[in-house]
């Protein structure tokens, strides 16, 4: 059973100079942008109240959020992030949205953590920042956010920039199911069915490393040193998470239905002064 990383206790800090500076910089930009808003808004558009000049009402709300944000209020910072992400009277601004989400996320705001991870994953460039997405989705999921747990499970299942980790994927999908994600039950059933259908096979494990890059370098070295033994066998890397939460990366070769075939390859590798052992998958 995988034990998740413990969530740090969230303590609401005193307002920081960085937050005050950020709020001060955007106050002028936000309030100037309100000049482009429509003059009126339907009664049911904002809070169900009677129609008022939209610019005035939004300006008042923004001023409240800015004042609260200067005091280190995580919800106000999150709301400002939402304001920038959606765009009100101006084009959406992902960069500013991420800044406010990050301030709120660092204060432990669960929705901000989820949204920040989502911004990093669904980057317009098409190049997700997997490390940041994984980090912030995990922070939110550990606080019980169903969407974050679900997305984190899919990220582990598909791998992204790392080898797929079925064990972690199942762990977080169960978390998503437990806190009520509407798609988690079906996804979990499919994942478990696929897992039960997998055949038992054997690989030859060549090494274990704490960093993915080191495992990749080692795999290439093993391939070049023992090409005559490995022949057409490919080198592949799998990941696992230890009880302390740290990841390890294992370098394997081959996929054998018969244990004896795997043993034979391992013995040949040992004759080349390479350490190895047969692992059951």
pLDDT, residue 34, reads 41
Q: Percentage of the chain surpassing pLDDT 70? A: 77
Q: Which residues of 156-173 are buried (b: 16+ CB within 10 A; e: fewer)?
A: bbeebebbebbebbbbbb
- Check whether 97 has a pLDDT greater than 70: yes
**DSSP type of residue 90:** S
Angle at alpha carbon of residue 203, lines to 202 and 206, rounded to 5°: 150
Tell me the pLDDT tens digit for each residue of 22-35. 555 555 444 444 43
- Check whether 52 has a pLDDT greater than 80: no
Residue ranges per structural domain of the chain: 16-107, 117-198, 202-280
pLDDT, residue 243, reads 65
- Check whether 44 has a pLDDT greater than 50: no
Q: For domain 117-198, give the CATH number.
A: 1.25.40
pLDDT, residue 231, reads 73
- Check whether 13 has a pLDDT greater than 80: no
Q: Are the CB atoms for 74 and 13 separated by under 8 Å?
A: no
Range with top average pLDDT, 32-36, 241-245, 256-260: 256-260
For the chain, what's the residue count? 281
pLDDT, residue 197, reads 54
Q: Are the CB atoms for 238 and 252 separated by under 8 Å?
A: yes
The widest CA-to-CA distance across the chain, in whole angstroms, is 84
**DSSP type of residue 229:** H
pLDDT, residue 24, reads 52
Q: Percentage of the chain surpassing pLDDT 90? A: 32
pLDDT, residue 118, reads 96
Among the residue ranges 143-147, 148-152, 223-227, the one predicted with the least confidence is 223-227
- Check whether 38 has a pLDDT greater than 60: no
Tell me the pLDDT tens digit for each residue of 175-233. 999 999 999 999 998 887 776 655 567 888 888 888 888 888 888 888 887 777 777 77
Q: Are the CB atoms for 206 and 222 separated by under 8 Å?
A: yes
- Check whether 143 has a pLDDT greater than 90: yes
H or E element in which residue 259 lies: helix 259-271
Q: What are phi and psi of 235, to 5 degrees?
A: -95, 135
DSSP secondary structure string, 113-156? HHHHHHHHHS-TTS---HHHHHHHHHHHHHTT-HHHHHHHHHHH
Q: Which residues of 43-58 are buried (b: 16+ CB within 10 A; e: fewer)?
A: eeeeeeeeeeebbebb
pLDDT, residue 56, reads 77
Average pLDDT over residues 60-84: 90
| 29 three-state secondary structure | helix
Q: Are the CB atoms for 140 and 125 separated by under 8 Å?
A: no
Nearest 10 degrees: Cα torsion 133, 139, 143, 149:
30
pLDDT, residue 21, reads 57
CA-closest candidate to residue 99, choices 22, 203, 3 = 22
Judge whether 117-198 and 202-280 match in fold: no
- Check whether 111 has a pLDDT greater than 90: yes
Average pLDDT over residues 48-58: 61
pLDDT, residue 232, reads 72
H or E element in which residue 177 lies: helix 166-178
Confidence at 274, pLDDT banded by 50, 70, 90: confident
Q: Are the CB atoms for 8 and 138 separated by under 8 Å?
A: no
What whole-number distance in Å separates Cα of residue 97 and Cα of residue 2? 34
pLDDT, residue 139, reads 97
pLDDT, residue 20, reads 55
pLDDT, residue 7, reads 31
Please say whether the structural domain 202-280 has been given the CATH code 3.40.50.1370.
no
């Amino acid at each position: 059973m995988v034990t998740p990383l413990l969530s740090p206790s969230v303590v609401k800090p005193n307002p920081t100079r960085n937050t005050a500076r950020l709020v001060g910089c955007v106050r002028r930009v936000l309030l100037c942008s309100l000049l482009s808003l429509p003059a009126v808004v339907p009664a049911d558009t904002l809070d169900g109240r009677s129609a008022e000049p939209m610019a005035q009402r939004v300006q008042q709300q923004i001023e409240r959020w800015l004042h609260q944000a200067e005091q280190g209020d995580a919800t106000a910072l999150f709301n400002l992030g939402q304001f920038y992400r959606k765009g009100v009277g101006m084009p959406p601004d992902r960069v500013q949205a991420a800044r406010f989400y990050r301030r709120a996320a660092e204060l432990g705001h669960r929705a901000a953590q989820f949204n920040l991870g989502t911004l990093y994953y669904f980057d317009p460039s098409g190049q997700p920042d997997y490390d940041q997405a994984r980090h912030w989705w995990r922070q939110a999921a550990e606080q019980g956010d169903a969407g974050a747990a679900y997305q984190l499970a899919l990220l582990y299942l598909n791998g992204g920039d790392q080898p797929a980790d079925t064990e972690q994927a199942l762990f977080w999908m169960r978390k998503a199911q437990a806190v009520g994600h509407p798609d988690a039950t079906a996804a979990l059933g499919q994942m478990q069915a696929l897992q039960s259908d997998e055949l038992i096979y054997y690989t030859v494990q060549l090494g274990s490393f704490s960093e993915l890059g080191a495992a990749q370098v080692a795999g290439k070295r093993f391939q070049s040193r023992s090409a005559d033994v490995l022949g057409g066998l490919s080198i592949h890397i799998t990941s696992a998470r230890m009880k302390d939460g740290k990841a390890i990366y294992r370098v394997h070769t081959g996929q054998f239905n018969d244990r004896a075939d795997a043993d034979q390859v391992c013995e040949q590798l040992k004759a080349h002064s390479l350490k190895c052992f047969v692992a059951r998958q």
